[in-house]
Amino acid sequence: MCELFAMSSRQAATVNFSLEEFSRHGGLTGPHKDGWGIVFFEDDDVRIIKDTTPASTSPWVRFLEDHPLRSQIVISHIRKATLGELSLKNTQPFTRELGGRQHVFVHNGHIPGIQDPKSFELGFYRPLGTTDSETAFCVLLGRLQHLWLASDWPPTSAARVEVLRSFARDITSLGLANFIYSDGELLVAHGHRRRQEDGEFGPPGLHMLIRECPHSDRSFETTGLTVAPLDQRVALFASVPLTDEPWRPLAEGEVLAVKDGETL
């Protein structure tokens, strides 16, 4: 199965990101060797890097280590292909514009029923590739479209989160449905089930860690993050804990919305 990683922070931070540890899972210490990708939100747009080679050997991971990027929202994915050939169009994260914002989605699981047009309407958006994950993203955008194109723009956080909750409830009936989504302001994570170390499928499908860094007079480095001398709060999500810190497992079906590192 794939693995997910995301960060939401009060102040822009680098994610050298446990990037080293996370990328090891992409073909070195884990079987997720079918490509990887990462998105950094910046100025209402995104910087995106995707590669079909394993993250553990990708030159783009080395590039990011040598050229660290700062962002308040970062989303990443390492792939173990279950549906769709090895190609960039099937590599996550997936991005689309809606309502003048970039929207980003990553999914871990298998939900083939999402591609049944009788049950899940695509609306305006169509997938470029052949994965169930990208189809799910297009379905989600179709449900969000009326909010983002309404006259009272931008939509409220509560309205957006309710659409995400309803979407999560619907797709969990199809299979394994861990996902992370962001519109550049909110980051929303849904934990479901995934294959555990004993080979059985069950919760947790995602873990969360909060780091708080009080104001200081100088920069310092903590595991995976370089923090400027500012009051900082960081929310991290990962399929499996990336450090020995107290990561909290999300309950099956739990949806969390985060803004600037704060849980809403």
| From 2, 114, 147, 187, active-site residue | 2
Q: Collect all residues with Cβ–Cβ distance below 8 Å to 202 and sequence separation of at least 6.
A: 193, 194, 196, 252
End-to-end CA distance of the chain: 29
- Catalytic residue at 138? no
Q: Could you tell me if 19 and 65 are in contact, meaning their C-beta atoms sit under 8 angstroms apart? A: yes
Instruction: For 100-120, give one letter per residue: b (16+ CB within 10 A) or e.
Output: ebbbbbbbbbbbeebbeeeeb
- Rounded alpha-carbon distances, angstroms, from residue 187 to 10, 195, 197: 12, 24, 28
Active-site positions?
Answer: 2
